[in-house]
Amino acid sequence: MIKVNTITKAVETMFRTDPEFNTFTIERSDWVNENPSVCPWLGIYRGNIDYNPETLGNGPDYWTGLMTLRLVVQAANYESGAASEDELETYVEAVISKILTDTTLRGVVDMVNEVNVTYTYLAEQEDSLFYQAALIEMKLEVSTS
């Protein structure tokens, strides 16, 4: 079976060992950040896993896991909502570029199949325009053998 913590640890190591992310607060499987003063912030979270038969046969070696990995990226810039958006987009681009340079995530998955980005803020809360986040969801293919 798939050890999800091996995958999240590999992703954490990818970012912690890259000098481009030295200014980021990086956390794995912890509470989502609520403090704008620790931005830029990157949270690493596991999602669901679907196990599907890979080939005919019995046993755990004949299955593939399709896993969702979630990364939360946050930026805070109190100049304006536009400045926060610009800063967040720079961070999102850097995170996605890092993932796409190693689609095996340090050799722990077979491949990244899909990347989706959802941007979040509360339009009715003025402060949230200066403290924005993006949820990056990736679909990973992982062999069980």
Model pLDDT for residues 79-125, shown as the tens digit of each residue:
988 999 999 999 999 999 999 999 999 999 999 999 999 998 655 55
**Is the Cβ–Cβ distance between 68 and 140 less than 8 Å?**
yes
d(CA 25, CA 39): 7
Residues 53-90: b if buried by 16+ CB within 10 A, e if exposed: eeeeeeeeeebbbebbbebbbbbbbeeebeebbebbbe
Look up the CATH number of the domain holding residue 101.
3.30.70.1700
Cis amide linkage into residue 40, ω under 30° from 0:
yes
Question: Residue 131: which domain range?
Answer: 4-143
Residue 145 is classified by DSSP as: -
Total domains, the chain: 1
54 vs 38, which has greater pLDDT? 38
Percentage of the residues of the chain whose pLDDT score is greater than 90: 73
- Reply yes or no on whether the pLDDT at 127 is more than 60: no
- Reply yes or no on whether the pLDDT at 145 is more than 80: no
- Reply yes or no on whether the pLDDT at 7 is more than 80: yes
